Amino acid sequence: MKIIAKTGNEAMAEAMRQINPDVCAAYPITPATEVMQIFAGFVNDGLVKTELMMVESEHSAMSACMGATAAGARTMTSTSSQGLAFMYEMLYIAAGYRLPIVIAEVNRALSGPINIHCDHGDTMGARDTGWIQLFSENAQEAYDNLIQAIRIAEHPDVQLPAWTSTDGFIISHGMENMEVYPDEAVQKFIKEFQPSFTLLNNQQPLTVGAADLQDFYFEHRRAAAEGMRHAKRVIQEIGREFGQTFGRSYGLFDTLELDDAEVALVAMGSTAGTARMAVKNLRQRGVKAGLLKLRVFRPFPAEELAQALKHVPNVAVMDRSDGFNAQSAPLATELKTAFFDAGLKPKVIDYIYGLGGRDIHFTELEQIMEKTLQAPEPGDLDSRVVYWGVRE
Predicted confidence (pLDDT) per residue in 250-291, tens digit: 999 999 999 999 999 999 999 999 999 999 999 999 999 999
For residue 180, give the amino acid letter: V
Question: Cis link prior to 376 (omega < 30° from 0)?
Answer: no
Q: Name the nearest CA neighbour of 330 among 286, 298, 362, 377.
A: 298
CA proximity to 293, closest of 322, 263, 256: 256
Angstrom distance (rounded) from CA 332 to CA 325: 14
CA distance 327 to 336: 10
pLDDT at 206: 86
Residue 367 has pLDDT above 80, yes or no: yes
Please give the domain boundaries of the chain with CATH numbers for all domains: 2-246 (3.40.50.970), 253-387 (3.40.50.920)
Give the Cβ contact number of residue 380 at 10 Å: 7
- 26 within 8 A of 79, measured Cβ to Cβ: yes
Nearest alpha carbon to residue 8 among 190, 152, 141, 181: 141
Q: Which residues pair with 195 in a beta bridge?
A: none
**For residue 210, is pLDDT > 90?**
no
* 3 state SS of 182: coil
Task: Please report the pLDDT score of residue 181 as a whole number.
Answer: 98
- Please, are residues 312 and 329 in contact by the beta-carbon 8 Å criterion? no
pLDDT for 325: 82
> In this model, does residue 383 exceed pLDDT 90?
no
Q: What is the pLDDT of residue 150?
A: 98
Give yes or no for residue 381 having a pLDDT over 80.
Answer: no
Give CA–CA dist 168/116, Å, rounded.
Answer: 8
| pLDDT score at 348 | 97
Q: Which helix (H) or strand (E) holds 381?
A: helix 381-384
pTM beyond 0.95, yes or no: yes
Distance CA 59, CA 295 (A): 27
H helix or E strand, kind and range, residue 266: strand 263-267
Digit-coded pLDDT (tens) for 180-208: 999 999 999 999 999 988 999 889 888 88
Predicted confidence (pLDDT) per residue in 314-363, tens digit:
999 999 999 988 899 999 999 999 999 999 999 999 999 999 999 999 99
